[in-house]
Amino acid sequence: MNYLSASLLILTLVGCAPAPAPLFPTQPANAVLPSPASTLETLTPSPTPQAAPLQGLAGLAAPPAPAQECRDRVWQEADSFLFECQAGEQRLRYRYTPATGSLHDLTVQLDERPPFYPSFYGGPIFLFGDRQIPIWDAETLTLSHAEPLLSADGLEITWRAALGEQEIAYTYRLSLHGRTLRLQATSPTAEIPAFSFDRSEETPGARLLSIPYLATFDLLFYDGLFLSAYFDWTQSNASYYEKVSEPYSERSFHFSQMAFYQPDTDGQRQPLHEVLYLTVSDRLADVLPALPNPPSPHRATLAGRTVVDFWAEEPFAETQARVQALHERGLTDLLLIRHPWQRCGYDDCYPSVLPARAEWGGDSALQSLSQAARRAGDLFALHENYVDVYPNADRWSPDDLALDPQGDPRPAWFNQTTGQQAYLLSPFRALEIARPISPEIHRRYATSAAFLDVHTAVPPWEKTDYRAEQAGSARFGPVFQAYIDLLTFLRAAHQGPVLSEGGAHFLYAGWVDGVEAEYQDGLDEGHTTPPLVDFALLRLHPLMVNYGVGYFPRYFSQAGQLKWGGYTLEDQHHYLATQIAFCHAGYIDSPELFDSAEDWLAWVERTARLVAPIHQRCAAAQAVRILYRVDGALAPVEQAIAAQELSQVFVQYDNGLQVYVNRHPDQPWPVDLAFTPSWAAFSALVDETRQDFVGTPHNDSFLLPPNGWLAVMP
């Protein structure tokens, strides 16, 4: 996509939202609103173009039904339409009063608390000629609406924005589902190049809340309430989404997204079609999106395995010697990933990867490495990439490249070592390119798993192809489907699980079997991020098996600087504790990052001995209780977020497993069990010395140091 244009548009639109205004304002001076009767005939809704749902997705991404059942009702009160959820003694009310054509017409109120705007002036950005006019800057426009249509299915209202002889019609359809207000925004024309949720207003003291692994939008925490507002990525016509998360003032916060509609190379733009979910609740789980994906069929295969990465450009025989050293220590049931193996080396001349690089031993040496892994019961995967295509590839055709709206090939990875610039392979060509390559990789090297580079690290809207003659051009939805098809194909080609990179993997959970589970950003300083595990355990965990919590240089980065080694034993305990909190499989980064071969071997052994037994017990289980230690007592996540105390977490699974993890930087955690466990795995203080243990314990009291943990079975 054209990131420069997108950034300029965001700065222009976000920065120009109007100053705060009183709640429930009277009719704005700039909005000319004829009576419904005078506009009904001229604004009869046109048939609305529908976005095709992704074929691979069985459901929608709306938050699931809340734990406490709502009695929903919708009715008209004077000029307003009310959508109410009554849950026990609590009343949540969304009020829509047609006045401006923007989402400023919508307010939220819980019980008798003051109402607030979830979206101060969100809505369309109009294209009149060559002028882009956002709804919040519409003083030059005439806005009118047809008579609102209220039915059992909700409310439908069609608006018209007019400037001179040009008119742009768009329709809102609002409906209530539990605590979620569903807004569908459509237009029969292609003159709406963007749709913004804008920002909250009258929310003093609110906080932006970033959720680990929920990469594409944040939440707003206000007055004990959680707000989520996001577009349904399975129902969109957009070219891309942009996360907008930043304070606007002490009373106003951007926390959602914008949808952008770019023209294809012929200048044609898709008509607006978005579904947006706004959910307000005092329970975090109520506002988190559902993931309408099928669970991975390889969860049992991956349970308890330790993933070991090999990134060095070294002979295959050297990697085999390292693997043999692991086996001699009794470490099996590993999953080994060799990243550089390709004919031209790593990140060069893709997709021409076969045969294996001669300088490293060629096919015979790589086959020997694979056989050694198989004999020990390890899974073996090789790195594949169907995103980057290099001009020095055997197959190089401009027709295979994704184009930007100006018709130029979209640049992808730049190899600083070779000076080669890759270009984005059109997602619609990816499966075609992979069809002869992946099965041949499996045939030659007896792979039992696969590693697919890039795809799940970023959302599909970063890979949109604007080539006009390509079906699905200028929309990210078909890109998403193309990558789902590719993941499905690779799973069959390698007859095993497909792994990939973490980042935006929640979108692909289940379609990809597991990822290297770093947080949202490359330099994320994951070691400073509290283990807020709810989204990962409630939404991701039932669908896939993730491993690690990020590449070591990124996880331990500081002030934007990668940490390329010098990892201490305390660093490892920190990393191990975080994996255990999220029920991730154990992971070890590449050997060259360690001070010595023995140091690396010790890290692998410690990870396999300590993490795998816990992961075997939690991988197929479901979390039924998640609590955090607040002021010395276990409390629900809502209380922990309010107190900003999330470093000590307790998880109970449906098979009886209980896990305590202490990520507090300096505070120990005494744990006194009400039973003597039949099995335990812990890193705890025994006689003031840290002891790592797996087996049958002889006590029921434990003192967890910083970066300590306890896992027990009754």
pLDDT 10s digits, 242-294: 999 999 999 999 999 999 999 999 999 999 999 999 999 999 999 999 999 99
Mean of pLDDT over the chain: 91
- Nearest partner of 218 among 274, 289, 136, judged by Cα: 289
More confident residue, 318 or 698: 318
Which amino acid is residue 236, in one-letter code?
Answer: S
What pLDDT is attached to residue 560? 81
What pLDDT is attached to residue 23? 33
- Tracing tokens 């192809």 back to the chain, one arrives at 465
Mean pLDDT of 160-182: 96
Question: Where exactly are the structural domains of the chain?
Answer: 3-287, 334-618, 623-713
Mean pLDDT of 6-35: 34
Query: Could you tell me which residues come within 8 angstroms of residue 43 by beta carbon, excluding any fewer than 6 positions away?
Result: 144, 145, 146, 158, 160, 169
Q: How confident is the model at residue 59 (pLDDT cuts 50, 70, 90)?
A: low
Tokens read off for 234: 């399975």
Mean pLDDT of 46-71: 70
Give the CA dihedral 637, 640, 644, 647, nearest 10 degrees: -80
What pLDDT is attached to residue 68? 85
- Helix, strand, coil share (%) of the chain residues, nearest 5: 25, 30, 45
What pLDDT is attached to residue 53? 58
- Kindly give the residue spans of alpha helices, DSSP state H, lying in 505-596: 534-535, 552-555, 569-582
Q: How confident is the model at residue 55 (pLDDT cuts 50, 70, 90)?
A: low
DSSP type of residue 536: I
Q: How confident is the model at residue 38 (pLDDT cuts 50, 70, 90)?
A: very low
Q: Tell me how far apart the alpha carbons of residues 667 and 649 are, in angstroms, rounded to a whole number.
A: 13
Secondary structure (3-state) at 630: strand
What pLDDT is attached to residue 20? 35
Residue 107 has pLDDT above 60, yes or no: yes
Q: How confident is the model at residue 359 (pLDDT cuts 50, 70, 90)?
A: very high
Residue 554 has pLDDT above 50, yes or no: yes
Q: Tell me how far apart the alpha carbons of residues 15 and 5 are, in angstroms, rounded to a whole number.
A: 15
pTM of whole model > 0.85?
Answer: yes
**In CATH, what number does 334-618 get?**
3.20.20.70
In the chain, % of residues over pLDDT 70: 91
- Tracing tokens 């991956």 back to the chain, one arrives at 302
Mean pLDDT of 300-320: 98
Mean pLDDT of 213-231: 97
Q: Tell me how far apart the alpha carbons of residues 154 and 94 are, in angstroms, rounded to a whole number.
A: 12
Which amino acid is residue 191, in one-letter code?
Answer: E
What pLDDT is attached to residue 510? 97
Q: How confident is the model at residue 1 (pLDDT cuts 50, 70, 90)?
A: very low
Q: Tell me how far apart the alpha carbons of residues 310 and 502 are, in angstroms, rounded to a whole number.
A: 17
What pLDDT is attached to residue 190? 95
